[in-house]
Amino acid sequence: MLDRATVDSLFPADLPETEEWEQRYPPREVGDGAFVTRFGPSPTGFVHIGGIYTAMVSRDLAHSTGGTYFLRIEDTDQAREVAGADVQFARAFDAFDLRPDEGPLSGHEDDGPYGPYRQSQRGEIYLSFVRELLRRGLAYPDFATKEELAEISDAQKKLKLPTGYYGRWAPWRDADEGEVTRRLEAGDPYVVRFRSEGKVGERVAFTDRLRGRVEAEDNHNDVVILKTSATEPRLPTYHFAHVVDDHLMRTSLVVRGDEWLSSVPTHLQLFTALGFPQVEYAHLAPLMKQEGSSRRKLSKRKDDEASVDFYLQAGYPTDAVLYYLRGLANSPLAEVPLAEALATPLQLDRFQSAGPLVDMVKLADICADHIATLPAADVLAGVRGWAQEYDSTLVEVLDENEKLALAAIDVERVGVDNPRKDLACWSEFRTAYGFFFPELFSDVTDPADERFNGLDPALVARLAEDLAARYVQEGDQPTWFQQIRDLAERHGFAPNPKTYKKDPDAYPGMLRDAANVIRVLVTGAQRSPDLYEVTRVLGGDEVVRRIRAVA
């Protein structure tokens, strides 16, 4: 074990003692059973929908128990760091209403009482605790080079032993003090390793709040806790930062991805060595994707829908996405209406340990169902909010035609049993409703257009001319439609399929084909909401103008 003077010489003389940190960050005053949770993303510039899921769960568990939810930016891996990552987080948290109570983006001037909330700014804190472990012989400097470490692991593989830095495979664990001191004085680069008491093959049990009792192999590795001295600033590894931060920031429940489950034995050893009370864990299963007959983790590299940007760009209503994610967390929520589901606290004992499947078809259905229940003004606000970021032309058009937009949105939605559900996300608005707006509609001018299904172009032109000349907008639906029937009859169309099929050569087509011409001229498409309702919203003049465009 290194003597205290040697250990202390490795750190700034004015580095605070660990007690000073303990005093500066006292236990939180929260009620019994209140969870203090956090979300600890790394600033890689990519916000994963799984991160939103984790943040949502963390925040919900804190708020429903009267606790606190904070954000800690885990930026100790500076090679992976991307500039502007905060902007991405802000965007995602705002969209999903997930701003933290404390930490960056909480809106507090100093972030909050347990800061700094960025690990890169907590360097001194980690050093105090590393020094403490070194003084107590619970950690030691390791000078092994990359090559030496590779040799160790090669040798272990040959002998079919577990790989890692432990026991007789840990050359610096019990190295001669004189040699260590000499290397330190020579300024040789080193990392600091934790002296694990774990033995190969030993088992350990712990409780996870989502999984109950978990048994796992204990940690026997002398894990690195402080990265190399060759680069400044000296930063901790994830393991060490997690333990120190979640202790000093007084987290009571660590909600994180289950890729960390296998690290719990290491973390438990660190909590014990540092004399910290144990934190509770809830390891979330990852969001999954169905691929053929198997399931795999939703992948940042392979799946567009892994990225929060995907949802924002498409404009899925974020409360409906949250509703869906809550259903994945605490299924089955299917029958619970959205507002109620969003207000119902998530329950730890209702999580499944298998990863929930993200089904985009289901999500789109949920979003379409949700949009169908919204008043037109809310739909318009949703579309407009989305368009402000992604479609500035659409914003102008909506602002110019607000009344038209509201009327268009309500076609086949108000006073009907089955309201239209043709909008699952705001970006679909142009396709589904764009034709209502003169600025977005392209007149159909070619009588040979393929949307007329091969009907004689001269006949198309005659139909248009004839209807335009006598078009009447007023009247109820049957009256309105009668003029289409009459039009079809005047131009020799069969009134119904049965008549048509008896002698197809006798007719240019049936009523349906004539109506299709009018529908295409008015809406630009062969399918549309009820044409009578559409024409009422457009007004007779605009309808006639569109019909005339082909003549």
Q: How far is the CB of 381 from ligand GLU (least distance, A)?
A: 34
Burial class (CB in 10 A: 0-12, 13-18, 19+), 108: middle
How far is residue 267's CA from residue 278's CA, in Å, rounded to a whole number? Answer: 9
Q: Considering only CA atoms, which of 111, 225, 122, 249 is closest in space to residue 165?
A: 225
Query: Which is nearer to ligand GLU, 39 or 190 (by Cβ)?
Result: 39
How many residues touch ligand GLU under the rule CB under 6 A: the total is 6
Nearest CA-CA partner of 500 in 488, 491, 487, 509: 509
Piece of 13-21, 36-44, 162-170, 381-389 that binds ligand GLU (CB under 6 A): 36-44
The CA–CA distances, whole Å, from 88 to 81, 177, 474 equal 13, 48, 52
Minimum CB separation of residue 256 from ligand GLU in Å reads 4
Smallest gap from residue 299 Cβ to ligand GLU (A): 15
The least distance separating ligand GLU from the CB of residue 373, rounded to whole angstroms, comes to 35
Asked if 40 touches ligand GLU (CB under 6 A), the answer is yes
Alpha carbon distance 300, 309 (integer Å): 12
| Near ligand GLU by CB under 6 A: residue from 193, 227, 242, 283 | 242
**Cα radius of gyration rounded to whole Å, the chain:** 33
Rounded to a whole number of angstroms, the distance between the first and last alpha carbons of the chain is 96
How far is Cα 19 from Cα 275, in angstroms, rounded to an integer?
Answer: 12
Q: Is 84 exposed, middle or buried (0-12, 13-18, 19+ CB in 10 A)?
A: exposed
CA distance 89 to 71: 10
x/- mask, ligand GLU, residues 348-387, rule CB under 6 A, reads: ----------------------------------------
Chain centroid to CA 153: how far? 38
The span from the CA of 169 to the CA of 155, in Å, is: 9
Binding marks (x or -) toward ligand GLU, 182..211, rule CB under 6 A?
Answer: ------------------------------
Q: Using CB under 6 A, which of the segments 38-46, 196-204, 401-409, 444-452 binds ligand GLU?
A: 38-46
* Residue 256 Cα distances to 18, 155, 261, angstroms: 26, 34, 9
Q: Which stretch binds ligand GLU (CB under 6 A): 37-45, 271-279, 286-294, 382-390?
A: 37-45
256 binds ligand GLU (CB under 6 A): yes
The structure tokens listed for 262 are 């296998």
Is 183 in a helix, a strand, or coil?
helix
Binding window for ligand GLU (CB under 6 A); candidates: 35-43, 108-116, 374-382, 389-397: 35-43
Shortest Å, Cβ 329 to ligand GLU: 16
Q: Which is nearer to ligand GLU, 219 or 523 (CB)?
A: 219
Residue 48 found at the interface with ligand GLU (CB under 6 A):
no
Q: Are 408 and 355 in contact (CB under 8 A)?
A: no
Nearer to ligand GLU, 251 or 516 (CB): 251
Q: Which one of residues 18, 37, 42, 516 is an interface residue with ligand GLU (CB under 6 A)? A: 42
Binding segment toward ligand GLU, per CB under 6 A, in 40-48, 333-341, 430-438, 469-477: 40-48
Residues facing 294 on adjacent strands: 291
Burial class (CB in 10 A: 0-12, 13-18, 19+), 416: exposed
Supply the minimum distance, in Å, between the C-beta of residue 324 and ligand GLU.
22
Q: Which of 34, 41, 65, 102 binds ligand GLU (CB under 6 A)?
A: 41
The residue range among 34-42, 78-86, 220-228, 293-301 that interacts with ligand GLU, by the rule CB under 6 A, is: 34-42
Q: Report the residue number, 90 or 381, with the smaller CB distance to ligand GLU.
A: 90
Contact map string, positions 49 to 88, toward ligand GLU, x by CB under 6 A: -------------------------x--------------
Nearer to ligand GLU, 306 or 494 (CB): 306
Q: Is the CB of 267 or the CB of 370 nearer to ligand GLU?
A: 267
Question: How far is residue 385's CA from residue 398's CA, in Å, rounded to a whole number?
Answer: 11
For residues 74 and 111, which CB has a smaller minimum distance to ligand GLU in the complex? 74
CB of 239 to ligand GLU, least distance (A): 10
DSSP states of 280-297 as a string? EEEEEPPPEEEETTEEEE
Interface with ligand GLU by CB under 6 A: which residues? 40-42, 74, 242, 256
